[in-house]
Amino acid sequence: GADVLAGVRELTSRGILAEGEDRGEVVYDFNHPLVPETLESGLPRAEARVLHARIASTLEALYGESASDHADELAYHFVRAGGEVDSDRAPHYLAEAGVRALERHAFGEAIRYLEAVIGPGGEDVLDAPYGEDADTILYVDIKPEPRPGQGTTWGEYWNQE
């Protein structure tokens, strides 16, 4: 309520948040991409995961029928939420974001999202919507050999901070 609005007003006046409009709705975004990273780095990992889960669920509900149009944003929060999110649609957003990342040649991002679609044992948790299984896209089309010093497995490589 009023406390949230006061906080938003203070962050906007300090130049941390920028106010804008999207489809007739007032929206806020951080003025610099390092701000959310800096804020998150001060949180315990478990708390950060819970917050990302809440953000993902809230955005999914807010976007409603157009949620797939925001797959990249949703996938980001679903991945950061770890196993904290209970959504049947999460794999869809992750696969969609992975394919979009491939189209932009953002291979590291694509790996992260597509590996999140493929369970830890390599099983598909989603019927591939693009005519190829996510693991085929991931392991055949985009995964080069790891370079020295980047970990021995892709999980280790990806989880490096």
pLDDT of residue 119: 55
pLDDT at 129 over 70: no
pLDDT of residue 13: 92
Average pLDDT over residues 56-79: 88
Predicted TM-score (pTM) of this structure: 0.62
User: Residue 100 is encoded by which pair of tokens?
Assistant: 């979009």
Share of the chain above pLDDT 70, in %: 72
pLDDT at 159 over 60: no
pLDDT of residue 148: 44
Per residue, the 3-state secondary structure of the chain, as one string, reads CHHHHHHHHHHHHCCCEEEEEECCEEEEEECCCHHHHHHHHCCCHHHHHHHHHHHHHHHHHHHHHHHHHHHHHHHHHHHHHHHHCCCCCHHHHHHHHHHHHHHCCCHHHHHHHHHHHECCCCCECCCCCCCCCHHHHHHHHHCCCCCCCCCCCHHHHHHCC
Tell me the per-residue pLDDT of 36-60, one tens digit each, with 9 for 90 and over. Answer: 888 888 889 889 889 888 888 888 8
Average pLDDT over residues 101-113: 85
